[in-house]
């Protein structure tokens, strides 16, 4: 009971991070008028925070040859943080590692030497990003995102300490689903517990089954927050606006073409926001919005909520308190 109360009090005292992961796309980079327009739209929907996502890159899951991606050079990252702050929103810098044909959770170098090289490169890149984030006054910084097969290694303690020396504000890591979050050994060295939530939700018709899954996940988050005495930020939650998207909520349009179904996206986000309205959770960042203000629309089947019924759900939840318990 004491752990739960401490976590709830810390969540209440923590700046809420409700908003969007805003992804930069070609011709609409941060610092351009169109990207600024997209950020204004996010604020109008009630967002109080924006997660900015610079990418690191490596050629395959076993390679230690990790490098900074070319999607967001330092100048663009600085512009993003400034644009977000100009609107009075909190700026969260949340780096991801991009692996062609795979994902960050599969990264696992195949020898002790390769692991050492990977962590050396990762530390250098993540500290550089943290330095830029600090120089621009970003409000929070993620030391990693969904690096499932790396988090049991001892190198993370040194990485977190190195980042802490250059970024003195809120630090967190983003675990993949509640299962990884429960196993991360270094929460004590961070300020927040971050998690992405993409559990299997069953068929679109089974709303009761979906609700049961969400409630189970939320109870486990409560338990984790109480155990670690830290608030939770759901750093990613989303669903494609596509038929049968609830069967595999993480699945991209490239993995499975499907007919549009914007209504299921709206319904699921409304349900998640209601379930996650609880003392231990201090923010929910929707995946995703694009820096192109014209993105999305009713025929789009990607995760973006732009131009879809989900926008009304978010506006209602964030500005009017709709769906609160």
Using one digit for the tens of pLDDT, what is the confidence trace for 134-175? 999 999 999 999 999 999 999 999 999 999 999 999 999 999
Please check whether residue 30 is in contact with residue 76, taking contact to mean a CB–CB distance below 8 angstroms.
yes
Let me know if residue 120 belongs to a domain.
Answer: yes
Using one digit for the tens of pLDDT, what is the confidence trace for 233-246? 999 999 999 999 99
Question: Alpha-carbon distance 302 to 253, whole Å?
Answer: 6
Using one digit for the tens of pLDDT, what is the confidence trace for 54-76? 999 999 999 999 999 999 999 99
Structure tokens of 104?
């960050």
**Lowest-pLDDT range, 3-7, 208-212, 275-279?**
3-7
Using one digit for the tens of pLDDT, what is the confidence trace for 95-134? 999 999 999 999 999 999 999 999 999 999 999 999 999 9
pLDDT at residue 8 in the model: 59
Strand order of the sheet with strand 67-68?
A: 67-68, 55-57, 96-98
Please check whether residue 192 is in contact with residue 139, taking contact to mean a CB–CB distance below 8 angstroms.
no
Total of domains in the chain? 1
Question: Alpha-carbon distance 310 to 239, whole Å?
Answer: 10
pLDDT at residue 59 in the model: 97
- Residue by residue, DSSP assigns 180-229 as HHHH-S-GGGSSEEEEEE------TT-HHHHHHHHHHHHHHHHHHHHHHT
Please check whether residue 232 is in contact with residue 282, taking contact to mean a CB–CB distance below 8 angstroms.
yes
Let me know if residue 163 belongs to a domain.
Answer: yes
Using one digit for the tens of pLDDT, what is the confidence trace for 207-222? 999 999 999 999 999 9
Question: Alpha-carbon distance 319 to 288, whole Å?
Answer: 19
Let me know if residue 177 belongs to a domain.
Answer: yes
Q: Where are the alpha helices (DSSP H) in 141-184?
A: 155-166, 177-183
pLDDT at 314 exceeding the cut of 60: yes
Burial 201-216 (b: 16+ CB within 10 A, else e): beebeeeeebeebbee
* DSSP code at position 15: P
| Location of structure tokens 């809120």 | 170
pLDDT category of residue 320 using cuts at 50, 70 and 90: confident
pTM listed for this prediction = 0.96
Question: Alpha-carbon distance 131 to 119, whole Å?
Answer: 18
Question: Alpha-carbon distance 138 to 84, whole Å?
Answer: 9
Instruction: Identify the helix (H) or strand (E) that includes residue 103.
Output: none
Let me know if residue 325 belongs to a domain.
Answer: no
Instruction: Identify the helix (H) or strand (E) that includes residue 8.
Output: helix 2-13
> In 3D, which of 46, 47, 14 has the Cα closest to residue 233?
14
Q: What is residue 23's three-state secondary structure?
A: strand
Parallel, antiparallel, or unpaired for β 281-290 and 19-23? parallel
Q: What is the mean pLDDT of the chain?
A: 96
pLDDT at residue 120 in the model: 98
pLDDT at residue 7 in the model: 58
Please check whether residue 94 is in contact with residue 149, taking contact to mean a CB–CB distance below 8 angstroms.
no
| Location of structure tokens 């962590």 | 119
Provide the greatest CA pair distance for the chain. Answer: 54
Let me know if residue 17 belongs to a domain.
Answer: yes
pLDDT at residue 324 in the model: 73
- Residue by residue, DSSP assigns 287-298 as EEEES-TT---T
Let me know if residue 135 belongs to a domain.
Answer: yes
Residues in the chain: 325
Q: What is the CATH number of the domain that holds 15?
A: 3.20.20.80
Question: 109 is in which domain, residue-wise?
Answer: 2-320
């Amino acid at each position: 009971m004491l752990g739960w109360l401490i976590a709830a009090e810390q969540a209440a005292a923590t700046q809420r991070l409700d908003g969007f992961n805003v992804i930069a796309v070609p011709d609409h980079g941060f610092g351009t008028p169109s990207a600024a327009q997209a950020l204004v739209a996010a604020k109008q929907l009630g967002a109080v925070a924006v997660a900015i996502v610079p990418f690191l890159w490596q050629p395959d899951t076993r390679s230690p040859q990790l490098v900074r991606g070319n999607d967001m050079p330092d100048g663009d990252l600085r512009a993003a943080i400034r644009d977000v702050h100009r609107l009075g929103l909190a700026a969260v810098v949340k780096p991801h590692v991009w692996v062609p044909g795979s994902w960050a959770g599969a990264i696992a170098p195949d020898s002790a030497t390769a692991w050492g090289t990977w962590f050396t490169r990762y530390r250098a890149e993540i500290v550089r990003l943290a330095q830029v984030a600090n120089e621009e006054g970003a409000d929070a910084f993620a030391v990693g995102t969904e690096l499932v097969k790396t988090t049991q290694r001892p190198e993370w303690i040194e990485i977190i300490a190195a980042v802490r020396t250059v970024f003195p504000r809120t630090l967190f890591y983003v675990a993949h689903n509640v299962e990884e979050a429960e196993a991360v050994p270094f929460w004590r060295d961070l300020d927040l517990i971050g998690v992405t939530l993409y559990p299997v939700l069953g068929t679109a018709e089974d709303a009761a089954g979906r609700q049961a899954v969400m409630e189970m996940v939320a109870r486990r988050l409560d338990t984790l927050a109480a155990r670690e005495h830290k608030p939770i930020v759901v750093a990613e939650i989303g669903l494609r606006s596509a038929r049968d998207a609830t069967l595999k909520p993480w699945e991209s349009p490239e993995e499975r073409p499907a007919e549009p179904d914007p209504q299921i996206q709206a319904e699921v986000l409304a349900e998640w926001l209601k379930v996650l309205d609880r003392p231990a959770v201090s923010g929910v960042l929707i995946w995703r919005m694009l820096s192109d203000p014209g993105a999305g629309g009713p025929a789009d089947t990607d995760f973006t909520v732009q131009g879809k019924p989900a926008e009304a759900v978010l506006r209602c939840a964030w500005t009017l308190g709709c769906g609160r318990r």
